[in-house]
Structure 1
Amino acid sequence: MAVVVGHSGSSAVVHTDLGDLRGTTEGGVGVWRGIPYAEQPVGDRRFLAPAPAQRWTGLRDALEHGPLPPQTKSFVGGGRDDPKVRDEACLTLTVWSPDTSASLPVMVWIPGGAFVYGAGQFQLYNGSRLAANGNVVVVNVTYRIGVFGGFELSDLGDGFDDNLALRDQIAALQWIRDHIAAFGGDPGRVTVFGESAGATSVLALLASPAASGLFSRAIAQSPPLPLIGDRETRARQAHDFLKRLGVEPSEVKALPQRQLRRAAGMVQLKSASNTPHLAYGLTYGVDLLPRHPVDAARGGAVERMPLIIGTNSHEASMFAWTKPPMLPTTTASIGAYLDRVAPDAKDQILAAYPDYPRRRALVAFGSDAMFGAPAWAFADAYSALAPTHMYRFDHVGWSLRALGLGATHGSEIVHIQHSYASFIGRKLHPLGRRLQPPVGRRMQRAWLDFAAKGWDTGDERSREECQTGEIEWSNGHDWPIYDTDRRMTRIIMTARDTVTEDPDAERRKAWAGLH
């Protein structure tokens, strides 16, 4: 049996089948950082599927974070306490546990970042509050991104495996299955949750045969499913990448990081003209991911388990500031997008945005194209197979309100993690460290209740009351099932939550059949 030694600031030792690990305790919670869950993908292992981690002898320190995956700077990891070192040897985990002698539910966080940015080590994703408040074991996963993990090169032949980001996540889940009991976690009660590209990964894991049996509950926060492309598109992008490098496939592994990242970035920019199939992302049509998650759900070819899925009300507002070509938020980019994706349904879709082309409608269109419409499509299909709970996050703190951004992409994370002390947390809720906002207390409790219980029904009396309109909800287990008869959706607001039937019906109907 594993034992945590000491108190706050003291060492914490666990004994795993791979060897002994020494972490520390912070605020009564044990934390182990920089744990390798696979052999590092360097040298000959570059662009290959992860290999199992090897045993070590003696007591191994797990006190410091491992390096971030190679990436440029982003505001998500812009705090003083966020790691700065970047390296391809990045396959590590962070584990928080309040009691290593127990058998607690496990929550596995898969960070987002469009498969270009992100890492589990960022303070925004600090899992200590979840672990302490919910009596759960929290595991943050760092996986390969960018050209080394989020860029498909398998069509180049031997030496290049497909879907490396997803393969890393599966390797981490296998490590959790085999070793989390040493940290006080129950491998039979694992909830996978993630945001943005992390949420896309969650839905891909549901559709991947290789991930079967590795988790039993899932939460997908704002999944941009258009980041999953077909194999044929990825093959063309891989050969464009090779042409830009001007080398043979056998020479790619030895090229310097900067050269590889530059060529992949150029392919990404070019792919923006073919949105939504960007160059960075996952690939379906291969053994690891045979079908797109929406098609897999429609065909019943997914793991069946309780699911929370949802989006934020103003997902694209932050992107509309910078007008990236990857997300349609201008009249020109929206017109080009519809000409490519749905030329015959152009008028039908735009009619669902009566304020078009005002900014509000541009933001709503971009939000639906990348996030809302794919989430509605997946929820419609998956809800026929397993208990599904839909939400829309509407809470806007005063700082986002002052900027005119609304409930923008990713703004729910600090409330679930209670990471108000992080760089982003201080910007969004400056007083959050002293006075946690009610929306944060409600959201974290709902996520924790779901991970612990996996509730699959709501209160029947309350469901009847919903027929007359909006009602107020207090606890996660009161969250009604989503189905295509009523599409009951939890609207998460500042002071209270309500449940509404099909709250974005006109926009959802306009996109039906296009994802």
Structure 2
Amino acid sequence: MHTACHAQCGEIYGMVERGVHVWKGIPYAQPPVGALRFQPARPLAGWKEPYSATEFGPACPQRKKYMGTSEDCLYLNIWSPRPDGRKRAVLFFIHGGSFAGGSGSEPEYDGTALAKNGDVVVVTINYRLGVLGFLDFSFLGEGFSANCGLSDIVMALAWVYGNIEAFGGDPENITVFGQSAGAIAASVLPVMPSARKYVSKVIMMSGGPSLLYTKEHYQEIAKQFLSFMDISSPEELRSIPASRLVAGQKKFASYCGLGDGTFMIEVDGILVPNYPIPAAAQGAARDIPILIGTTREELSFSCKKLLSKVLDISSILISDRTRESAETRRRIRQAYKRYGKRAQAMMLTDRIFRMASVWYAEVYSQYARTWMYRFDYETPAMRLTALHACHSSDIPYVFGNFHARQYKWMFLFPSPRPRRVLGAIQGDFIRFAKTGFLPWRRCHGGETPAKCYDKHCRVRPMVEPDIEREYEKSDFKRRSFKGLDYMGAGQR
């Protein structure tokens, strides 16, 4: 059955699927092609004829072969219980994928269950990725800009702010939530002057708010890419087929030694004035409530030989070895011995995701309501594989999509318990989106209590206090608070 609405941009037709009104593949910006390839997102004029939004738009060019891709990729998708004149809370999702892969149309992000269970409006988006979205070629002239992919996210937010009321959403109640790379973007938005007017609340799922680059460092990486690809002029960079750029990304990531840290948001001084932690410490995110979470063992797969390259973090580990003193490294390793065989996974999880999130919560809580969560629950399949509560394992519970392609393995053994965990975490996300409040202790000062989702939920310190103390004098903490490049470069 078709459904129609009249938004500021024009009339849009969608479909009713499983009792939810769905619009797929709505363009929110001008196609970033030709002269606009490395330019910030540009507003899109509305349309005069009814627009059919019944098929997902293409994703940004990337290495994943199963999805349709195109440089004309700036599309979003909307799930709404019904556009009946009511204003519902809006959940605006930014997908992960190391800023190099993924799409808002992937099955695990289907918003049907979340919209139906919570009586909320769910939005997912595509944005530019990899070389097209994040390398900074602005040294080549005015036709090139940094943070193109981030500008897409801001433009999508602006489009939602201006149009979502027609779809049953409340433009004054938009909760931005993102996972992994999407959570890094979500951590930046409330401290960006150009974005905060669209952001009512923020949820970070497994993001590192210190994982950004300085302009100087990122332009050096971009210059290395041009040399690696033997691209000799701005004109050649604009005209080279996107497929060739994408084909070179993976090899370049290995060549330059940055792995999954190759594509990142840049502190460019314009769109992104400062790193999230020092910006929040100065009150830049004042009055925007936030929920910050991780899974318990984000990087458990990095300790498995066959899966160790799922997320290439070798560059961060090299940085630690070269910048931290031997005594600091020894004391930190010693603190994790209590975890036995799982010590390495827990230490890597804290280093990449959790410690910077704790520090962000500590400074953020001075100016806005701040909560933390930790996803500890393991299905029997997760225990048998020793992957435990790994990176992304909370996504099927938040969206309610247990049967999405990449998560089926987690639910091989039937049990009613995952449904109870789903009810707990999805219910809290919905409550936060609607009210901006949660029923456990907020972060305050140096205290960062977290609700831990497990067989039985309980509130515990996000990181054990004695482990957190071992990071107090680390170079990692110093860089995070001063706004220094996570690879060691930056303003001094």
Contact 1:212–1:303, Cα closer than 8 Å, also in 2:
no
Deviations 1:311-338 (A, max 9, x none): 111100123333338325xxxx887342
Worse-superposed segment, 261-270 or 432-441: 432-441
CA separation in 1, counterparts of 2:466 and 2:263? 31
Task: Give 1:85's aligned residue.
Answer: 68
Structure 1 residues 59 and 161, CA gap change in structure 2 (3 angstroms): same
> What SS is found at the alignment partner of 1:100?
coil
Task: Give 2:460's aligned residue.
Answer: 500
Task: Give 1:319's aligned residue.
Answer: 302
Task: Give 2:57's aligned residue.
Answer: 66
Residue type matched to 2:465 in 1?
A: A
Q: Does 1:407 align with 2:389?
A: yes
Task: Give 1:439's aligned residue.
Answer: 421
Task: Give 1:509's aligned residue.
Answer: 469
Task: Give 1:491's aligned residue.
Answer: 452
Worse-superposed segment, 227-236 or 166-175: 227-236
TM-score (norm 2): 0.90
Worse-superposed segment, 256-265 or 161-170: 256-265
Task: Give 2:169's aligned residue.
Answer: 185
> What SS is found at the alignment partner of 2:312?
coil
CA separation in 2, counterparts of 1:117 and 1:263? 14
Residue type matched to 1:342 in 2?
A: E
> What SS is found at the alignment partner of 1:213?
helix
Residue type matched to 1:196 in 2?
A: S
Q: Does 1:370 align with 2:355?
A: no
Worse-superposed segment, 37-46 or 302-311: 302-311
Structure 1 residues 299 and 266, CA gap change in structure 2 (3 angstroms): farther
CA separation in 2, counterparts of 1:201 and 1:225? 8
Structure 1 residues 343 and 263, CA gap change in structure 2 (3 angstroms): farther
Unmatched segments (≥5 aa) in structure 2 = 481-492
Residue type matched to 2:435 in 1?
A: K
Task: Give 2:400's aligned residue.
Answer: 418
Contact 1:103–1:185, Cα closer than 8 Å, also in 2:
yes
Residue type matched to 1:483 in 2?
A: H
Task: Give 1:463's aligned residue.
Answer: none
Structure 1 residues 335 and 173, CA gap change in structure 2 (3 angstroms): closer
Contact 1:39–1:53, Cα closer than 8 Å, also in 2:
yes
Deviations 1:403-426 (A, max 9, x none): 001100000010010011211332
Residue type matched to 1:508 in 2?
A: E
Contact 1:420–1:432, Cα closer than 8 Å, also in 2:
no
1:173 offset after TM fit, Å?
0.5
Alignment of 1:323-334 (within 5 A): 323-324=308-309, 326-328=312-314
Worse-superposed segment, 297-306 or 219-228: 297-306
Contact 1:93–1:139, Cα closer than 8 Å, also in 2:
yes
CA separation in 2, counterparts of 1:437 and 1:154? 49
1:509 offset after TM fit, Å?
2.1
Task: Give 1:80's aligned residue.
Answer: none
Alignment of 1:290-301 (within 5 A): 290-301=273-284
Contact 1:155–1:238, Cα closer than 8 Å, also in 2:
no
Number of residue pairs matched by the alignment: 469
Give the superposed CA RMSD: 2.2
Q: Does 1:288 align with 2:271?
A: yes
1:367 offset after TM fit, Å?
1.0
Deviations 1:267-319 (A, max 9, x none): 4224436x89x321100142110111112112223343111001111100123
CA separation in 2, counterparts of 1:252 and 1:289? 24
1:510 offset after TM fit, Å?
2.0
Worse-superposed segment, 427-436 or 149-158: 427-436
> What SS is found at the alignment partner of 1:392?
strand
Structure 1 residues 267 and 340, CA gap change in structure 2 (3 angstroms): farther
Q: Does 1:252 align with 2:237?
A: yes
Residue type matched to 1:169 in 2?
A: I
Task: Give 2:36's aligned residue.
Answer: 45
Contact 1:376–1:508, Cα closer than 8 Å, also in 2:
no
> What SS is found at the alignment partner of 1:225?
coil
Deviations 1:356-400 (A, max 9, x none): 9x6422212221121111111111111111111011110001111
CA separation in 2, counterparts of 1:85 and 1:38? 19
CA separation in 2, counterparts of 1:122 and 1:213? 28
CA separation in 2, counterparts of 1:291 and 1:223? 17
Task: Give 1:223's aligned residue.
Answer: 207
1:28 alignment partner, one of 19, 23, 43: 19
Task: Give 1:343's aligned residue.
Answer: 325
1:502 offset after TM fit, Å?
5.1
Worse-superposed segment, 369-378 or 485-494: 485-494
Q: Does 1:143 align with 2:127?
A: yes
Residue type matched to 2:313 in 1?
A: L
Q: Does 1:387 align with 2:369?
A: yes
> What SS is found at the alignment partner of 2:146?
coil
Q: Does 1:16 align with 2:14?
A: no
1:244 offset after TM fit, Å?
2.0
> What SS is found at the alignment partner of 1:368?
helix
1:219 offset after TM fit, Å?
0.2
Worse-superposed segment, 278-287 or 101-110: 278-287
Structure 1 residues 56 and 189, CA gap change in structure 2 (3 angstroms): same
Structure 1 residues 502 and 251, CA gap change in structure 2 (3 angstroms): closer
Residue type matched to 1:248 in 2?
A: S
> What SS is found at the alignment partner of 2:424?
helix
CA separation in 2, counterparts of 1:432 and 1:90? 38
Contact 1:114–1:227, Cα closer than 8 Å, also in 2:
no
1:434 offset after TM fit, Å?
8.7
Residue type matched to 1:348 in 2?
A: R
CA separation in 2, counterparts of 1:435 and 1:320? 27
Residue type matched to 2:391 in 1?
A: H
